[in-house]
A and B are shown apart, each in its own frame.
Chain A
Amino acid sequence: MVDKLTLNMITQRSIEEGVAMEKGKTTQEYFEACSIIEMNEEDIRKLGLLPNQLVKVTSECGSVIVKAIKGRQTVYPGLGHIPQGVWANQIVPPRTQATGEPQYSGFPATVESARGERRKSALECVQGAVGLWRSD
């Protein structure tokens, strides 16, 4: 067992994200569809995680708390997937290889148990980043 694991991250579309996004990005559906990370079972086991445990994912430009799941569309060991959306973009590096396109796929991130931290809502993530968030 290890405390931390470095994965190669990708962030792409999912149909759950698409449907939820049309309902609204502040809905519970969007939250559940996007604040997750899909990992290989082997990596989940290496980290000693229980099913649906929260993890902290940290890239070169930030961290985000998401729920670790195995997912139906499986990834191989060493690869991780956070669906496109608010949570993925808390850690996507803005470097573009001089094309204009950020590094949405293929960037290193470490995954570790979240140790009591909670998932933030979409609004808290984005408004929080720009100093507009007020908890109520």
Chain B
Amino acid sequence: MPKKIENVGCPYCGVCCDDLVVTVSDDGRHVLEVENACAIGNEIFHHASGDNRIKLPRLRQPDGTYKDISYDEAVDYAAKVLVKAKKPLIYGFGSTNCEGMAAAAKVAEKAGAVLDNCASICHGSSFLAIFDNGYPSCTLGETKNRADVIVYWGSNPAHAHPRHMSRYSIFPRGFFTGKGHKGRKIIVIDPRYTDTARVADIYVQVKQGQDYDLFNAFRTVIHGEDIPDEVAGVKKEQILEVADILKKARFGTIFYGMGLCHSDGRNHNVDIAISMTRDLNDFTKWTIMAMRGHYNIAGPGVVWAWTTGYPYCIDMSKKDHAYMNPGETSSIDLAMRDEVDAFFNIGTDAGAHFPIEAVKHLKKHPWITIDPNICMASEIADLHIPVGIVGVEVPGIVYRMDNVPIQYRQVLNPPEGVISDEELFERIHQRICEIEAEEGITQTGAAAADTQKSIVGE
């Protein structure tokens, strides 16, 4: 009899829908039906039971083709690359569980690697602004239950977070928002007239790259001062109208996205968004939240901040201390300056999502991709190690975009023999220890003594 599994989490976007109902076949190998998921979530579960999965690690041969090898051989290869490299980079983690992230951090410390996650090219700017200016945020539940005004600024949930609006912002009825859609005002601020803008009450078309100016204008008006007739392509009347709505809200949330982080200004755009949120709290209750992209991209920030002291761009190449300085220790900058000599791509696809110039630099050195599927990073790697799909074949903890941890379930068995990210990194760690013992490698500097302080707590 097919089995219905309830309260399943979706391993795609940062909304982390945990209300999916998945029906699997008798043998636990195929997904028959997925309820409640959006189009993307649906595809993930169905894709997992497809027949074209990679079941063994593949090593690139001199003629450019791939040859299947065993997991033992793959672990040995990966460990040797890490031992040999002076400054390897271990990057990715948007699509794996916290258990895998913790195991990878242990390997990174052991190997003296730089440890970085997709925030580096995504909401890293948000981290910088939050360090500087604080984070007056809330949970998605609070927005659902309390908010009567919602702003989407430089974010397009209709495309990037398909159920965000129906679960948390526009449509649901909460404790104090019983009228649902009718009781809420939605404001969308974006240079493009997006599908999210279509469902908004007010659309503000800001000139691309001029968000900072517009925030400044809002702050000026909120402080009761005058502004020019037009700022960042937006008419003064509209700025006054929106500022008035913001001030009169009972509870508001600003959800912002890559429109701020990827444009000129980067962290400064987020910084001033936070300042505007703080200003509004002189009048009423306002909160702000980063629309984190992947379902567990908040995870490494939490796990590593707890284990190493830093959320991303963590340089542990000196082995006895961790150091973070985005711009210097960030993946793209390291790549462009040719400062790393081995690259691990895990739970992401740097081949598709890094600017191609950075890919070319990284490819000068050994490149190992750890991913369940074929992707660009797997097709240019020297070694591709397949792993189970978290949230489908591997359970684990993930952090939603509002930093709420959620336990994800396993609904299918992984293809026979395929292991998890966590097990893989544990085995690589073990193998590095063995190689170091065999070769009598002693660590340098303060790390020499056995009594060394561990950066990554075990």
Contact = CB atoms under 8 A, between A and B. Distances in A.
Interface of A: 8, 10-15, 18-19, 22-26, 61-62, 72-76, 79, 81, 84-86, 89-90, 92-94, 96-106, 122-123, 125-127, 129-130, 132, 134
B338 interface: no
A130 B363 contact: yes
B264 A73 contact: no
A125 B379 CA distance: 12
B195 interface: yes
A13 to B, nearest CB: 4
Given A79-B191, A130-B380, A15 B327 contact: no
Contacts of A72: 195
Contact of B156 (A12, A61, A126, A129): A12
B120 interface: yes
Contacts of B360: 129-130
B273 to A, nearest CB: 15
Given A96-B332, A126-B351, A101 B261 contact: yes
B205 interface: yes
A101 B266 contact: yes
B362 to A, nearest CB: 9
A123 to B, nearest CB: 6
A75 B265 CA distance: 21
B352 A103 contact: no
A98 B265 CA distance: 11
23 contacts: A13-B258, A18-B12, A22-B47, A24-B47, A24-B375, A25-B376, A61-B356, A75-B191, A76-B205, A79-B191, A92-B356, A94-B332, A94-B354, A96-B327, A96-B332, A99-B125, A99-B128, A100-B121, A101-B121, A103-B264, A105-B209, A106-B263, A123-B376
Nearest to A134: B64
B331 interface: yes
B200 to A, nearest CB: 13
Contacts of A105: 208-209, 258-259, 262-263
Given A8-B208, A8-B209, A89 B352 contact: yes
Nearest to A84: B353
Nearest to A62: B356
Given A10-B191, A130-B380, A99 B330 contact: yes
Nearest to A22: B43
Nearest to A102: B355
A82 to B, nearest CB: 12
A122 B353 CA distance: 12
A8 B209 CA distance: 10
B159 A123 contact: no
B12 A85 contact: no
Contact of A14 (B120, B159, B352): B159
Given A8-B209, A61-B357, A15 B192 contact: no
B358 interface: yes
A23 B43 contact: yes
A23 B262 contact: no
B313 interface: yes
Interface in B218-273: 258-259, 261-267
Given A22-B47, A103-B262, A94 B358 contact: yes
Report, nearest first, the 5 A-B pairs whose CB atoms are least far apart. Answer: A100-B330, A98-B327, A104-B262, A22-B43, A13-B160
Contacts of B267: 99
A25 B375 contact: yes
Given A19-B40, A126-B379, 14 more contacts: A10-B192, A13-B159, A15-B39, A15-B160, A23-B43, A73-B194, A73-B195, A85-B352, A89-B354, A89-B359, A90-B356, A99-B125, A105-B259, A132-B64
A85 B197 CA distance: 23
Interface string B340-378: 000000000101111111111001000000000111100
A106 B376 contact: no
B313 A100 contact: yes
Nearest to B260: A105
Contacts of B259: 12, 105
B356 A129 contact: yes
B192 A18 contact: no
Given A19-B40, A22-B44, A89-B353, A104 B266 contact: no
Given A19-B39, A101-B266, A130-B363, A10 B208 contact: yes
A105 B353 CA distance: 13
Given A104-B262, A122-B376, A130-B363, A99 B124 contact: yes
